[in-house]
């Protein structure tokens, strides 16, 4: 059963946006999906409470206990784990050991870039992780900006794949407020965003 961890040491970079949309993608493929949240803010759990009953089912993974992160129950085929800023110590080891893949959302600011460099080095030092299991996603990236160029230059130095760059759009905000994802509505309404997700989907299915 694949477990996808969404992690970055910085807050506000789009971890919950990525986590909920990955869960929505898996659900759209007919999988039995659980979405867990080890962040105290419990943003993903709040999002699940907003999800309409007619939407494809995504269940809660109670992953925020004080005694480590429990494995998803039997019957789950795919799991997604949203994580807090500043993930470290035993909690870091627990969630990374569970993960088959780690998605790292990254905004093109110098502060986010340097914090993420240290985090990816820390990931690669973990005995359960190699570069093929880490994917970086640029968040709120303007395609023709100096910040975007800086982001691409930085990631090229890491040796981990850049899966894609997601534009800054209200689509994510408006859908999240209704407990929905790009994969829950008519494709024609979010065609540009789905195109940006194509390489991320390929990596998740890989």
Tell me the chain's radius of gyration from C-alpha atoms.
16
Average pLDDT, the chain: 86
Q: How many domains are there within the chain?
A: 1
User: What span, in angstroms and rounded, lies between the C-alpha atoms of 197 and 201?
Assistant: 6
Query: 190 in helix, strand or coil?
Result: helix
Token pair of 96 as six digits: 């990374």
Q: Torsion angle, CA of 164/197/24/93, rounded to 10 degrees?
A: -20
Residue 31 has pLDDT above 90, yes or no: yes
Range of the domain at 104: 3-205
* pLDDT at residue number 108: 79
The span from the CA of 20 to the CA of 42, in Å, is 12
Q: What is the separation, in whole angstroms, between the first and last Cα of the chain?
A: 13
Placement of tokens 């080890």 in the chain = 38
Output the pLDDT for position 146. Answer: 74
Regarding predicted confidence, which is higher, 130 or 174? 174
Q: Using CA atoms in the order 171, 172, 177, 179, what is the torsion angle rounded to 10 degrees?
A: 110
How would you classify residue 86: left for phi > 0, otherwise alpha for psi between -120 and 50, otherwise beta? left
CATH code of residue 158:
3.40.50.300
State how beta strands 33-37 and 3-6 pair: unpaired
**101-128 confidence digits (pLDDT tens):** 999 998 877 788 888 888 888 888 887 7
Task: Please report which confidence band the pLDDT of residue 158 belongs to, taking 50, 70 and 90 as the band edges.
Answer: confident
- Quick: pLDDT tens for 163-196: 988 999 999 999 999 999 999 999 999 999 999 9
At 67 the pLDDT is: 47
CA distance 100 to 172: 25
């Amino acid at each position: 059963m694949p477990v996808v961890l969404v992690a970055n040491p910085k807050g506000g970079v789009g971890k919950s946006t990525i986590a909920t949309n990955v869960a929505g993608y898996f659900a759209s493929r007919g999988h039995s999906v659980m979405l867990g949240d080890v962040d105290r803010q419990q943003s993903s759990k709040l999002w699940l409470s907003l999800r309409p009953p007619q939407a494809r089912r995504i269940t809660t993974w109670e992953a925020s206990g004080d005694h480590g992160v429990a494995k998803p129950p039997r019957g789950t085929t795919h799991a997604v784990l949203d994580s807090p800023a500043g993930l470290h110590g035993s909690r870091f080891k627990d969630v990374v050991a569970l993960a088959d893949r780690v998605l790292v959302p990254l905004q093109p600011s110098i502060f986010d870039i340097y914090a993420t460099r240290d985090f990816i080095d820390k990931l690669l030092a973990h005995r359960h992780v190699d570069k093929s299991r880490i994917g970086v996603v640029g968040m709120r990236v303007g395609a023709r900006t100096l910040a975007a160029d800086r982001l691409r230059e930085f990631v090229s130095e890491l040796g981990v794949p850049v899966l894609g760059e997601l534009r800054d759009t209200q689509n994510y905000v408006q859908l999240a407020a209704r407990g929905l994802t790009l994969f829950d509505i008519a494709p024609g309404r979010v065609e540009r965003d789905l195109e940006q997700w194509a390489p991320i989907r390929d990596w998740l299915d890989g």
